[in-house]
């Protein structure tokens, strides 16, 4: 009897210890506050939605801060370079990886410690977003390759070449009915991507692997001429359109093709009768392959600034936000495409309208990932805009583009030993 | 007596000291730092690069910088055109609403609205108004049989649009300042001219305009300097596009400093900007002072 009582008491004590331990693990970060920074978009919306769940799991409050893309780069670099530690986690666009890497925490020790399964992340995406110079400074949380959206009732067969594409846009344009072959974002910071897609798929590049400017090429000229021709089959307002206007024009049934980041509007609202007049009449497809089939990649990775005092908690947020469960939830609620291989292997994704994006994710690239990339990108966008709006001829445009590349690399030289593995 | 004078001087400087300290901290020291920075090579986003002295390289770089040259030309054209319209329309408006009737006072109050709007808000509103697909301006134009116009997509029209928005915002201010000048004109002169049979145009040209000329010179100087500093409207309406059509100097300096983080080059651009504006202001003030001295 005495023995049984002793055993029972020990069991109760043991249970109590276990409960205390799990309780303290759940509330390990009780009273702590995490500040996370995202681009103003579905990524920030998703973060706000799951913040409560994160608090339940860890006890920490999460403040989600977001800024539009046009100001996010400035905000992030200023915060990082001045070591304010204002943000514990920041969402970094992959083209800023190299620029921000010196200010970010290397995540390899955390990945190793917690056995984070990075093998589930699409290899090309991890190479383009989050990895820099052999180290991992960010975990990709969203990605999308630049693809076409098109009207399935008007386009029976997606064009295989750029010439076929232009010809089809011309054929489908009916200005008397205010219907155009293509809807495009014409503002220079968006339009530049459309020029790059054409340039890269035609076999062109900004620079060679040793950073020598290679933009003065037949491919550049061909891509520019194509871009200029494309505007003949777009709404005249397109030259001042941003992404939302061009996507909306497509959703309102005013264009046969739409060149826009599909997850920023089309995949979410395409089949929503409240926002779309083309319900069930659209699909996505890769751009014409031409010589390389390379398209532009948009990918974002979550990183931890070196200056933050909440590194462990920040890492918990990164694991939480990029978990398989949340990534599936984000797709369902916000049409955010996950960089996880397991996400794309799900039967419902393989048969969905975004299935065609998967192959492109294996080859899509961002432009450069250096400090020089912002200046080069903006400068090329200005030059392309000059040509397309008739302010400059082809040769002076190409000359300006070359000067832009050379000047950008001179002002912000690539770090020693880093080669141009993109274009 | 000497003691009193020294005391007065001391008290004067004592009262001026807070302002001098404030200006030193907020204006002179940052200015000197920018000047020093412009002779170096410093990139905020590249901490591994040691800043090094490069002399006048940043200043020389400007002259080979096509975007800098174009943005400067754009800014000069923008400033001159805007200010001429602002003053002309401001004077016309002032002549129309300078009376003291209730109607004129109400119109003056309503006209203050553009003036008190933040430039960013005004630019955003006009961007939506001028959208060639969904904007109200084109909608009304189509109603009266005009075609849709690509206001912000066409290089020339985009430039005209930003001038229109700037003029729209500033004309009320110009009018208010000119009205204060009009009220200072002795009415006897006007009545005498009327009695002598002078036409309204002659009265305006020979009496009113000379009387308000000193005010117009000051307005011109202030507005010219302000027009050179245009940033918000361009940033929200066109971003400098299409191409370089509406790229202005302040936007370009902003890009260099806060997009490319080339602090040194941005500093050199800013210092050059300040020097040029100071020269223009000095020329104006000297010309005005010489003219006033001549009149005396």
Instruction: State residue A18's pLDDT score.
Output: 53
Q: Is B265 on the interface with A (CB under 8 A)?
A: yes
Q: Where are the domains of chain B?
A: 65-261
* Residue scoring higher pLDDT (B153 or A22): B153
Residue B141 has pLDDT above 60, yes or no: yes
User: Could you tell me where the DSSP H helices lie in A255-297?
Assistant: 266-269
B265 vs A411: CB contact, 8 Å cut-off? yes
Residue A1 has pLDDT above 70, yes or no: no
pLDDT band with cut points at 50, 70 and 90 for residue A289: confident
Residue A20 has pLDDT above 60, yes or no: no
pLDDT band with cut points at 50, 70 and 90 for residue A313: very high
Give the H/E segment covering residue A284: strand A282-285
Q: Is B101 on the interface with A (CB under 8 A)?
A: no
Q: How many CB atoms lie within 10 A of CB A176?
A: 6
* Alpha-carbon separation of residue B251 from A194, B238, B260 (angstroms): 24, 11, 12
B131 vs A382: CB contact, 8 Å cut-off? no
Q: What is the mean pLDDT of residues B131-146?
A: 90
Please give the mean pLDDT across all residues of chain A: 91
- For β-strands A255-260 and A297-303, DSSP reports them as unpaired
DSSP helix/strand/coil, A39: strand
Q: Which of B260, B291, B296 is nearest to B61 (CA)?
A: B260
Q: What is the mean pLDDT of residues A203-207?
A: 95
User: Could you tell me where the DSSP H helices lie in A299-391?
Assistant: 311-321, 324-334, 341-344, 347-350, 357-361, 372-388
Residue A255, both tokens: 């264009």
Q: Is B51 on the interface with A (CB under 8 A)?
A: no
B292 CB-near residues (< 8 Å, 6+ apart): none
Q: Give the phi and the psi of residue A45 in degrees, each rounded to 5.
A: -60, -45
Q: Across the A/B interface, how many CB contacts are shorter than 8 Å?
A: 119
Residue A51, both tokens: 């913040």
A374 vs B133: CB contact, 8 Å cut-off? no
* Residue scoring higher pLDDT (A126 or B203): A126
Please give the mean pLDDT across all residues of chain B: 90
Q: What is the mean pLDDT of residues B20-40?
A: 93
Instruction: State residue B203's pLDDT score.
Output: 87
Q: How many Å separate Cα B273 from the centre of its chain? A: 14
Are B75 and B226 a contacting pair, CB within 8 Å? Answer: no
> Beta partners for A135?
A132
Give the H/E segment covering residue A303: strand A297-303
CA dihedral A197, A199, A200, A205 (to 10 degrees): -130
Measured between CA atoms, how close is B73 to chain A, in angstroms? Answer: 15
Q: What is the mean pLDDT of residues B83-92?
A: 96
Q: Out of A1-10, A339-348, A363-372, B270-279, which region has the weakest mean confidence (pLDDT)? A: A1-10
* Alpha-carbon separation of residue A422 from A88, A291, B121, B145 (angstroms): 30, 16, 40, 51
- First-to-last alpha carbon distance for chain A, in angstroms, is 80
Measured between CA atoms, how close is B198 to chain A, in angstroms? Answer: 51
Could you give the CA distance from residue A344 to residue A325 in angstroms, rounded to a whole number? 13
pTM higher than 0.90, yes or no?
no
Q: Which of B158, B142, B162 is nearest to B150 (CA)?
A: B158
Q: Give the phi and the psi of residue A259 in degrees, each rounded to 5.
A: -105, 100
Are A216 and A164 a contacting pair, CB within 8 Å? Answer: no
Q: Where are the domains of chain A?
A: 29-143+298-361, 145-296+369-411
A29-143+298-361 and A145-296+369-411 have identical folds: yes
A412 vs B152: CB contact, 8 Å cut-off? no
Q: What is the mean pLDDT of residues A352-380?
A: 92
DSSP helix/strand/coil, A148: strand
Task: Give domain A145-296+369-411's CATH superfamily.
Answer: Periplasmic binding protein-like II (3.40.190.10)
Instruction: State residue A36's pLDDT score.
Output: 98
Could you give the CA distance from residue A103 to residue A126 in angstroms, rounded to a whole number? 19
pLDDT band with cut points at 50, 70 and 90 for residue A242: confident
Residue A260, both tokens: 């826009």
A345 CB-near residues (< 8 Å, 6+ apart): none
Measured between CA atoms, how close is A340 to chain B, in angstroms? Answer: 31
Measured between CA atoms, how close is B103 to chain A, in angstroms? Answer: 40
Q: Which CATH architecture has domain A29-143+298-361?
A: 3-Layer(aba) Sandwich (3.40)
Residue B262 has pLDDT above 50, yes or no: yes
Q: What is the pLDDT of residues A159-175, one digit of tens each?
A: 999 999 999 999 999 99
- For β-strands A180-183 and A255-260, DSSP reports them as parallel
User: Could you tell me where the DSSP H helices lie in B196-262?
Assistant: 200-203, 209-228, 232-237, 249-258
* Alpha-carbon separation of residue A404 from A146, A200, A380, B173 (angstroms): 24, 18, 7, 41
pLDDT band with cut points at 50, 70 and 90 for residue A27: confident
Q: Is B258 on the interface with A (CB under 8 A)?
A: yes
Among candidates A188, A374, A392 on the partner chain, residue whose Cβ is nearest the Cβ of B259: A374
Q: What is the pLDDT of residues A213-235, one digit of tens each?
A: 999 999 999 999 999 999 999 99
Residue B4 has pLDDT above 60, yes or no: yes
B147 CB-near residues (< 8 Å, 6+ apart): B141
Q: A40: burial class by Cβ within 10 Å (0-12, 13-18, 19+)? A: middle
pLDDT band with cut points at 50, 70 and 90 for residue A25: very low
pLDDT band with cut points at 50, 70 and 90 for residue B283: confident
Q: What is the pLDDT of residues B37-47, one digit of tens each?
A: 999 999 999 98
A257 CB-near residues (< 8 Å, 6+ apart): A148, A149, A150, A151, A155, A165, A169, A181, A182, A183, A250
Measured between CA atoms, how close is A375 to chain B, in angstroms? Answer: 6
Q: Is B261 on the interface with A (CB under 8 A)?
A: yes
Instruction: State residue A267's pLDDT score.
Output: 86
Sign of the torsion formed by the C-alpha atoms of B5, B8, B10 and B13: negative
Please provide the CATH number assigned to the domain covering B65-261: 1.10.3720.10
Could you give the CA distance from residue B129 to residue B114 in angstroms, rounded to a whole number? 15
Measured between CA atoms, how close is A420 to chain B, in angstroms? Answer: 18
B86 CB-near residues (< 8 Å, 6+ apart): B166, B167, B170, B171, B174, B223
Chain B residues in contact with A78 by the CB 8 A cut-off are 44, 258
Instruction: State residue A24's pLDDT score.
Output: 47
User: Could you tell me where the DSSP H helices lie in A27-150?
Assistant: 42-58, 69-81, 97-100, 108-113, 123-128
Chain A residues in contact with B245 by the CB 8 A cut-off are 389, 391
Q: Is B238 on the interface with A (CB under 8 A)?
A: yes
Instruction: State residue A241's pLDDT score.
Output: 86
Are A206 and A215 a contacting pair, CB within 8 Å? Answer: yes
Could you give the CA distance from residue A241 to residue A235 in angstroms, rounded to a whole number? 10
Q: Tell me what percent of the residues of chain A surpass a pLDDT of 90.
A: 77
Could you give the CA distance from residue A137 to residue B126 in angstroms, rounded to a whole number? 42
- For β-strands B40-41 and B52-53, DSSP reports them as antiparallel
Among candidates B43, B131, B133 on the partner chain, residue whose Cβ is nearest the Cβ of A371: B43
Q: Which of A186, A113, A72 is nearest to B239 (CA)?
A: A186
Q: Out of A48-57, A275-284, B126-135, B155-164, which region has the weakest mean confidence (pLDDT)? A: B126-135
- HSE of B8, CA atoms in CB hemisphere, 13 A: 5
- Which of A82, A389, A392 should one mutate to test binding to chain B, selecting the residue with the greatest count of B CBs within 10 A? A389
Among candidates B48, B66, B260 on the partner chain, residue whose Cβ is nearest the Cβ of A374: B260
pLDDT band with cut points at 50, 70 and 90 for residue A356: confident
Q: Is B154 on the interface with A (CB under 8 A)?
A: yes
Q: What is the pLDDT of residues A122-149, one digit of tens each?
A: 999 999 999 999 999 999 999 999 989 9
Q: Tell me what percent of the residues of chain A surpass a pLDDT of 70.
A: 96
Instruction: State residue A370's pLDDT score.
Output: 92
């Amino acid at each position: 009897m005495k023995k049984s009582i002793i055993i029972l008491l020990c069991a109760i004590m043991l249970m109590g210890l276990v409960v205390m331990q799990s309780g303290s693990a759940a509330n390990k970060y009780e009273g702590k506050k995490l500040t996370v920074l995202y681009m103003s978009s579905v990524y920030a919306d998703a973060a706000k939605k799951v913040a409560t769940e994160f608090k339940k799991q860890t006890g920490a409050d999460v403040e989600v801060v977001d800024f539009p893309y046009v100001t996010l780069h400035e905000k992030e670099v200023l915060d990082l370079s001045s070591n304010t530690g204002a943000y514990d986690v920041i969402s970094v666009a992959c083209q800023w990886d190299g620029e921000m890497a010196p200010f970010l925490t290397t995540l390899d020790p955390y990945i190793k410690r917690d056995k984070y399964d990075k093998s589930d992340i699409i290899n090309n995406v991890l190479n383009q977003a989050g990895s820099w110079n052999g180290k991992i400074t960010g975990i990709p949380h969203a990605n999308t390759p630049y693809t076409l959206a098109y009207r399935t009732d008007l386009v029976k067969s997606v064009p295989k070449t750029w010439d076929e594409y232009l010809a089809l846009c011309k054929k489908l344009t009916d200005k008397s009915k205010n219907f155009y072959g293509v809807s495009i974002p014409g503002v220079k910071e968006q339009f530049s991507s459309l020029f790059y897609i054409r340039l890269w798929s035609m076999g062109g590049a900004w620079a060679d692997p040793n950073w020598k400017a290679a933009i003065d090429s037949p491919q550049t000229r061909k891509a520019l001429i194509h871009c200029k021709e494309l505007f003949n089959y777009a709404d005249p307002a397109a030259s001042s359109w941003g992404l939302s206007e061009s996507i909306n024009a497509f959703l309102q049934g005013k264009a046969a093709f739409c060149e826009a980041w599909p997850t920023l509007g089309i995949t979410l609202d395409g089949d929503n009768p409240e926002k779309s007049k083309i319900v069930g009449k659209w699909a996505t497809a890769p751009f014409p392959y031409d010589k390389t089939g390379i398209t532009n990649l948009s990918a974002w990775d979550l990183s931890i600034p070196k200056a933050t005092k909440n590194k462990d908690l920040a890492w918990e947020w990164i694991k939480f936000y990029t978990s398989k469960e949340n990534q599936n939830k984000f797709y369902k609620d916000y049409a955010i495409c996950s960089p996880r291989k397991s996400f794309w292997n799900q039967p419902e994704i393989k048969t969905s309208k975004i299935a065609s994006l998967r192959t492109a994710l294996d080859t899509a690239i961002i432009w450069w990932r250096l400090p020089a990339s912002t200046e080069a990108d903006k400068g090329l966008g200005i030059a392309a805009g000059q040509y397309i709006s008739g302010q400059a001829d082809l040769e002076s445009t190409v000359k300006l583009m070359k000067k832009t590349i050379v000047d950008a690399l001179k002002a912000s030289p690539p770090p020693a030993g880093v080669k141009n593995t993109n274009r | 007596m000497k003691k009193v004078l020294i005391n007065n001087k001391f008290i004067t400087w004592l009262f001026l000291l807070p302002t001098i300290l404030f200006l030193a901290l907020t204006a002179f020291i940052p200015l000197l730092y920018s000047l020093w920075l412009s002779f170096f090579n410093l990139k905020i986003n590249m901490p591994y690069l040691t800043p090094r002295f490069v002399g006048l390289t940043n200043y020389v770089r400007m002259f080979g910088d096509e975007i800098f040259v174009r943005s400067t030309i754009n800014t000069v054209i923008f400033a001159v055109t805007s200010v001429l319209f602002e003053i002309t329309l401001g004077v016309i408006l002032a002549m129309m609403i300078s009376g003291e009737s209730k109607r004129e006072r109400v119109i003056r109050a309503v006209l203050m609205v553009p003036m008190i709007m933040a430039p960013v808000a005004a630019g955003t509103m006009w961007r939506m108004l001028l959208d060639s697909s969904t904007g109200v301006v084109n909608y009304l134009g189509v109603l009266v049989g005009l075609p849709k116009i690509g206001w912000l997509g066409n290089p020339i029209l985009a430039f005209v649009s930003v001038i229109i928005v700037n003029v729209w915002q500033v004309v009320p201010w110009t009018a208010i300042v000119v009205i204060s000048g009009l009220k200072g004109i002795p009415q006897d002169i006007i009545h005498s001219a009327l009695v002598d049979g002078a036409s309204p145009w002659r009265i305006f040209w020979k009496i009113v305009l000379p009387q308000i000329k000193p005010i117009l010179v000051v307005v011109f100087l202030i507005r010219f300097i302000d027009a050179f500093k245009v940033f918000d409207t361009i940033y929200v309406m066109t971003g400098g596009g299409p191409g370089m059509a509406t790229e202005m100097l302040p936007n370009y300096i902003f890009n260099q400093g806060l997009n490319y983080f080339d602090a040194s080059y941005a500093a050199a651009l800013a210092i050059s900007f300040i020097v040029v504006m100071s020269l223009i202001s000095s020329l104006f003030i000297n010309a005005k002072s010489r003219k006033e001295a001549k009149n005396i």
